[in-house]
Amino acid sequence: MHILLIEDDPAYRRLICQHLATGLDEALVVEHQPARLGRLPPEFNAVGYGVVLLDAHPAGADGLDWLADLRSRPLFPPVIYLLGERDDAAAAAALERGAYGVVSKHKIGHRQFITLVRDASQLQRRALAAFRASPAAANAYRFGQTTIKGLRCVRALATSTMSTVYLAESEREARLVVLKLLRQIPELGDKPGTFDRFLQEYEIVRQIDHPNVVRIYELGVADDHAFIQMEFFAAGDLRAQMRRGITPAEALQFLRQMAAALAAIHEAGILHRDLKPGNVMLRVDGSIALIDFGLAKQLSLEAEITATGEIFGTPYYMSPEQGHGRVTDARSDLYSLGVMFYEMLTGKKPFLAPTPMAVIYKHANAPLPILPDEFQHWQGLLDGMLAKHPRDRFQSGEELVAAIDTLPPKGMPR
């Protein structure tokens, strides 16, 4: 039984979890702290939960407003409203807004509380069973022409010749997820090995357990289409954050997290090869994660898998060797980090030109960009990423992390 507990006070969270643990052996409680995480995303119907426990004052707001919003969502589970002190008028208002039951946190009757939770969960189970047997369920779990049971389609996010990306809700994971569905359509001219490369790359990425690498929940096949189910980032990407503004301290922290993530994926034998702000995602807690390994490649694979000399990636963030179709390694990804670091600090890209090929030329031939005076203490750090020749750069993500961690208060010693 999955239970969602929406409560800020850690003492009450512990108390409620203790009641649930001693009364329901099968209970799995997920805690949502409104003050830190905000409201539940509007697309989230919580169909993976049996019951939701909602504090009357989430993040100091009106719990009745939250309650009305949640109960308006299709198939949202029963909500048990958690009052502070006993208040008959507040309890009546909550029941009128759709609460399944009301409990006073200051004096929880254990047996009654457990019975209320169990009954609410059984009600939700019956509601879901009825829905799955209805005609509407067929469309709810369809992604284009593909049906994936247990995943509710919310909307399409992006489409390319090789795949379509959807926002979905996973009943098993009890969360919003991103679903990438790969189409293998020979008549569109897909290159040999594309399907196998997709599966191979993401199987490796799924094994990486690092806080700054996207979490892969499932990799599978449905209706002859491969799919990958991965973490959803409600806070958006680094590109949007750049438009809103990034402080120098945040820029350095983001750089460190990206370098640590690269160290992990390079250790697993993966090159990202398409690092750019749109592939760096932000979590609500402020941490970042690298995504979109659709252009990733095992270091040990032979060149014929991707065709010798083929250019991958985005010109603004390409290393000189990548832009000219030469052999790339981990140091090429570090170069892309240098471009993003410069852009985070200055608000502009280091190399601009009218055409992609002219940008590629500048990466290889233009002088290294100079940071404004207020950031000069980081010039050595930038030069260690944007050096024209790989041998003159930081040699690994670990080395870059170490350089950041040993920076003096005003920067990096020359």
Residue numbers annotated as active site: 274
- Tokens 């031939």, located at residue: 365
409 token code pair: 């208060």
Q: Which residues contact 67 (CB under 8 A, 6 or more apart)?
A: 54, 79, 81, 94, 97, 98, 99
| DSSP helix/strand/coil, 127 | helix
Residue 385, SS3 per DSSP: helix
- The CA angle 136-142-148, to the nearest 5 degrees, is 115
Quote the CA–CA distance of 362 and 354 in Å, as a whole number.
Answer: 11
Q: Which tokens hold the place of 51? A: 């019951």
- Which residues are CB-contacts of 107 (< 8 A; sequence separation ≥ 6)? 86
Element (H, E) at 178: strand 175-182
Query: How is 50-66 classified by DSSP, letter by letter?
Result: SEEEEESSGGGS-HHHH
Q: What is the Cα–Cα distance from 249 to 169, expressed in whole angstroms?
A: 35
d(CA 295, CA 275): 10
